[in-house]
Amino acid sequence: MYIPPAFRVDDIADIHRTMRAARSATLVTATQEGLIGTPVPMLLDEREGPNGTLYAHVARANPQWKLTPSGEAMAIFAGPEAYVSPSWYATKQETHKVVPTWNYVAVHAYGPVEFFDDAERLRDVITRLTDLHEQPRGDRWAVTDAPADFITAQLKAIVGLRMPISRLDGKRKMSQNRNSADRAGVINGLSESHRPEDHIVASLIAQD
């Protein structure tokens, strides 16, 4: 990922927060058949390895797990994003030398990917993923709420994946390259939007 210095995020705790907030990622592998990608919910285990390890699962019918990867896999996590109109810049009134842009947060995680279909490892992954996303709910569902034989049958339809993260690219493009007046204009413009995500981006610009 191309990352100008003004937009680079190096703090691993910050990068991990973005990954957790995104909750899912697109897993991309290069194979002899070409590139293939699958959007999947991702579990980040920060305790495993220097950069953390990702866990997920794909459908057994998905051909991606059967195709031998050439080199590392990549997991793409997308954070908040918003269109930025040049009409919001104070500079527009001064020089008119402005163009539209896009503000966004993104993380690319790289590493070797291992696919597995061991039932106990699969059960552990789906249990941890379920517990993660059920945790905020009052009426939580647990894997053990379903009949054991039903879960066993369901596990046969999926394949797990483990991806130790070898390196991370973190990017936060939030108008850091604009002057304070232009940034204030973007914050105001996004704050007036009807899109909730635009309001999130406005708050991120104010923080940077």
pLDDT at 61 over 80: yes
Q: Is residue 184 part of a domain?
A: no
Q: What is the pLDDT of residue 129?
A: 97
Closest by alpha carbon to 94, among 178, 188, 11, 197? 178
Task: Give the structural domain span for 114.
Answer: 5-82+101-177
* CATH number, domain containing residue 165: 2.30.110.10
Q: Is residue 49 part of a domain?
A: yes
What is the band of 71 on the pLDDT scale with cuts at 50, 70, 90? very high
Q: Is residue 197 part of a domain?
A: no
Q: Is 67:36 a contact under the CB 8 Å cutoff?
A: yes
What is the rounded distance in angstroms from the CA atom of residue 187 to the CA atom of residue 175? Answer: 10
Per-residue DSSP letter, 176:
T
> In total, how many domains does the chain have?
1
Q: Is 174:82 a contact under the CB 8 Å cutoff?
A: no
Q: What is the pLDDT of residue 104?
A: 98
Q: Is residue 96 part of a domain?
A: no
Stretch 18-45: mean pLDDT = 97
What is the band of 93 on the pLDDT scale with cuts at 50, 70, 90? confident
pLDDT at 208 over 80: no
Global confidence as pTM: 0.94
Q: What is the pLDDT of residues 113-149, one digit of tens each?
A: 999 999 999 999 999 999 999 999 899 999 999 999 9
Q: Is residue 201 part of a domain?
A: no
Q: What is the pLDDT of residue 132?
A: 95
Q: Is residue 126 part of a domain?
A: yes
Q: How far apart are the first and last CA of the chain?
A: 21
Q: Is residue 67 part of a domain?
A: yes
Q: What is the pLDDT of residue 171?
A: 98
The Cβ of residue 127 has, within 10 Å, a number of other Cβ atoms equal to 14
Q: What is the pLDDT of residue 92?
A: 86
Q: Is 190:202 a contact under the CB 8 Å cutoff?
A: yes
Q: Is residue 150 part of a domain?
A: yes
